[in-house]
Amino acid sequence: MEHRRVGRSGLKVSAISLGGWLTFGGSLEDADAFRILDLAAERGVDYVDLADAYAKGRAEETVGRWLRERSPLARQRFVLASKAYWPMSEGANDRGLSRKHLFESVEGSLRRLGTDYLDLFFCHREDPEVPLEETLRALEDLVRQGKVLHWGTSCWAPATLLKAQGLARLRGWTPPIVEQPKYNLLERHVEKRIVPLARSTGMGLVVWSPLEGGLLTGKYDDGVPPGSRGDRTEWLDEMLTEENRAKLRAFSALAAEVGCRPAQLALAWALHQPGITSVITGASAPAQLEENLGALEVPWSDALAERLDALFPR
C-alpha cells in the first residue's frame, strides 16, 4: 500500500482509506464490520475516516470495539479521524463549531473509540454562527492538550480556508493541514480553486464520494433498477440524464478495455490527480474493499488520463 504525507505535516496515510459513513454502526453488524477492518489492516489500509454523526456515534463505537478486540497495538497502526459539526441531539449547543461543542465532540469520540487522541479531527462544515477565532482557538487548545494531533476542514469555501490559515499564522496557532472535499469524475469543480489553494498553502486533500454515490460503478448505466436502493433516491434520478447515461456507458466500456471494473478506474483516476493525499472508500463487505483496492493495480498512462478528461471535461 502506498502511503502519502498529509500536506506538509509528518503524518502519512494510506492512499486508499476506509470510511465508516452508512456502514459501520448502521447497515452492518459488528461481525461484518470487523471482517472489513481485518482486511483493511491486512492490506495496509490504515486510515479510517469517521465522524461523531455517523450513525449517531455508533460507527465510532464499532471501530472502538474492533480495536479493543484485536490488541492495544492495533491503535498505533491506524490513523483515526473524526469530525464535528452536524447535530448529535436536539440540544442547541450539540452541533456546530463552538468551543463547547468541539470539546464535547472530541471527548465523545475518544470515549467511543477507546483512545486518548485523534490523529486527525475535521470541522465537518463551516459554521457561520460561530466566530472563526473561537473555533481555531478551541482547536489549538485541543492540540496542546494532546487530544487532537492535527486538524482539517471539510467542504470549506476557499475564502474561509485562506482566512483560517492567515488567522492561525497571526496567532501562532496550529493551522489546518488538510481539506476534505467531494471529488470525482462527475464533480470536478474543486479543481478550479480548492486544489490550487491546497497546493499553495501546503494542505493535503482527502476526497470523499469518489464513485459519486455508485454512478461510477456501472450499476446505473442503463438507469435505476426498479426496487433498488437507488430507486428511492431523487438525486439519482436528477443525475441520470440521457447525456450522463451515455457518458457512464462509455466509461464502463473504457474500463473493460483497460481490463478493470468501472469503480476501479474511477478510484485510479482520483488517486492520480495532483495533490490528492487519500481517497475515502466505503465497503459493505470484504469483497467490495478488495475490489476497491484493485484500483492500485490499474495500468495508468497519460493517454488514459486524456481519454477520461475528454469524456468528463473539467
> DSSP letters of 264-277?
HHHHHHHHTSTTEE
Q: Which three cell numbers stand for residue 13?
A: 496515510
Q: Given a cut of 80, is residue 223 above it in pLDDT?
A: no
Nearest CA to 86 out of 97, 78, 76, 75 is that of 97
In a domain, 221, yes or no: no
Residue 272 is part of which domain span?
Answer: 3-214+261-299
**What is this structure's pTM?**
0.93
pLDDT at 140: 99
Kind of pairing between the strands at 118-123 and 79-84: parallel
In a domain, 249, yes or no: no
Query: Phi/psi of residue 177, each to 5°?
Result: -105, -5
Q: Given a cut of 80, is residue 226 above it in pLDDT?
A: no
User: What are 249-266's pLDDT values in tens digits?
Assistant: 999 999 999 999 999 999
Nearest CA to 275 out of 207, 191, 204 is that of 204
In a domain, 252, yes or no: no
Q: How far apart are CA 265 and CA 295, in angstroms?
A: 6
CA max distance for the chain: 56
Q: How far apart are CA 210 and CA 53, in angstroms?
A: 21
In a domain, 78, yes or no: yes
At 23, the pLDDT band (50, 70, 90 cuts) reads confident
- Cβ atoms < 10 Å from Cβ of 258: 18
Give the active site residue among 47, 54, 85, 220: 54
In a domain, 244, yes or no: no
Distances 211 to 196, 250, 252 between C-alpha atoms, Å = 23, 16, 13
In a domain, 226, yes or no: no
What total number of domains does the chain contain?
1
- Residue 298 in 3-state DSSP? coil
Q: How far apart are CA 165 and CA 102, in angstroms?
A: 19
In a domain, 173, yes or no: yes
% of the chain surpassing 90 pLDDT: 86
Told to judge if 54 belongs to the known catalytic residues of this protein, a careful annotator would answer yes
Whichever domain contains 17, its CATH number is 3.20.20.100
Q: What average pLDDT does this structure show over 59-73? A: 90
Burial (CB count <10 Å: 0-12, 13-18, 19+), residue 125: middle
User: What are 193-212's pLDDT values in tens digits?
Assistant: 999 999 999 999 999 999 99
In a domain, 88, yes or no: yes
Radius of gyration of the chain from its Cα atoms, rounded to whole angstroms: 19
Instruction: Please enumerate in sequence order all residues whose Cβ is within 8 A of that of 2, keeping only pairs 6 or more positions apart, or say none.
Output: 14, 15, 296
What angle in degrees, to the nearest 10, is found between the helix axes of 302-311 and 262-271?
Answer: 110
